[in-house]
Structure 1
Amino acid sequence: MQHMFKYFISIIAMFVLAETVAQEQKIDTLSTDKDSIVYKSPYGIRIGIDISKPIKGFIGDSYTGLELVADYRIKKRLFIATEIGFEEETTQEYYTNSTAKGTYIRMGFNYNAYENWLDMNNEIFVGYRYGLSFFEQKINNFTPNVNTSYFPANPI
């Protein structure tokens, strides 16, 4: 009987060791499931008006101006931008009255420095512009600064 126990113990030990060897395999790392929904940012052209210039013209009598702005998204955070506008302003100082008027165009790019969360479209821009303008200045009135009676201070 004792030989039988040794035989059974040897067989059980062999199955236990074989089972433990079989369990010692490399554990695969957990694979992460990827979301199949793709969130696309809108690309396209945006057109607008700088409202500060009409407001400034409405408040003051000596200013008129309008600026149109547009940008086009070329990458996720990079935009091509342009502004085109005209201004006319009459300035009254102590001895002069002058008018400046003209048109301008600015072109460049904007970089959205804000890292958005999912489904957000906030923008904080850092940009660069190159500008070209055609302005003319005209002196409407000039009064010499003379305080003697020999040279009268008549407007020119």
Structure 2
Amino acid sequence: MRTLTFFINLCLLLSFTCINSQNLLAKKESKQDSIVYKTGYGLRLGLDLSKAGLSFFDKSYNGLEIVGDYRISSRWYLAAEIGYEEEITFEDYTTSSSKGNYIRIGANYNTYNNWLDMNNEIYVGGRYGVAIFDHTLNSYTPNVTTGSTNVPIYFPTSPVTTPITETGLTGQWLEFVFGIKAETFKNLFVGFSGSFKIVTAMEDQLGFKTLYAPGFNEVLDSGTGFGFNYTLTYLIPFVNK
């Protein structure tokens, strides 16, 4: 009888202990779930390091780009890039250069679900770009024909080296952007993005096609182009949400 009583008391004690442990665990999990991780909303500014690096290593290029975005919701960011570029294009029979200023404005959508207090991005976005630039035909080798069908067109050995410049040209285009941003230290981000560009309007200098437009890069025959950047930016948080 005593053994049965002891066994019943032991079972009751174990049941009470198990229930009490489950309640404590549930309270702990509930407390953890109730913690709200806030992240910074504000203005993020920085530079495109790829253009600075290219300016250092390539003497035919000079450029500077300032990048920025502003967070307006948990997923959406207003974004813009503004800069200056000067580039010399070398082809078989021509050498031309383009220099001027540009701006690209648009928005990014973050598709990445961050853990806890992380603030990283894998985003897609769009831009509308505008450039105002000067285009110069630095030198060219004209093709020569005698008018005879038996003598093919040829290029003389001496190119024309008198520059021909047209100023105040404009270009406009649309961009589709894909990129990533990672927070390496508090409020400091490194990022990389690539873009596909479509010309909507591009002015040419008289008698010569624009081969390179600031902010657009090389203009392909199809009226499209590609771009990329590698950025270092810093977030100035105005509020935490």
Cα deviation for residue 105 of structure 1 reads: 0.3
Q: Decide which structure has greater strand share.
A: 2
Match of 2:158 in 1: 154
Identity across aligned pairs (percent)?
A: 58
Cα deviation for residue 152 of structure 1 reads: 5.0
Name the TM-score, length of structure 2 as normaliser.
0.47
Aligned ranges for residues 45-64 of structure 1 at < 5 Å? Answer: 45-64=43-62
Kindly indicate whether structure 1 or structure 2 has the higher relative contact order, using CA contacts under 8 Å at least 6 residues apart.
2
Contact 2:143 2:156 in 1 (8 A): no
Match of 2:39 in 1: 41
> Within 1, Cα distance between the matches of 2:39 and 2:91?
51
> Within 1, Cα distance between the matches of 2:134 and 2:86?
10
Stretches of structure 1 lacking an aligned partner (at least 5 in a row): 1-29
Stretches of structure 2 lacking an aligned partner (at least 5 in a row): 1-25, 147-154, 161-241
Aligned ranges for residues 11-90 of structure 1 at < 5 Å? Answer: 33=30, 35-90=33-88
Contact 2:79 2:107 in 1 (8 A): yes
> Within 2, Cα distance between the matches of 1:51 and 1:147?
48
> Within 1, Cα distance between the matches of 2:30 and 2:47?
45
| Matched letter for residue 126 of structure 1 | V
Contact 1:147 1:153 in 2 (8 A): no
2:93 maps to which of 92, 95, 116: 95
Distance 1:155 1:39, change over 3 A: same
2:139 maps to which of 117, 138, 141: 141
Match of 1:21 in 2: none
Q: Which moved more, 1:32-41 or 1:69-78?
A: 32-41
> Within 1, Cα distance between the matches of 2:87 and 2:127?
23
| Matched letter for residue 47 of structure 2 | I
Cα deviation for residue 146 of structure 1 reads: 4.3
> Within 1, Cα distance between the matches of 2:134 and 2:81?
20
| Matched letter for residue 101 of structure 2 | T
SS of the counterpart of 1:53? Answer: helix
1:115 maps to which of 113, 117, 121: 113
Number of aligned residues: 125
Match of 2:178 in 1: none
Cα deviation for residue 147 of structure 1 reads: 8.9
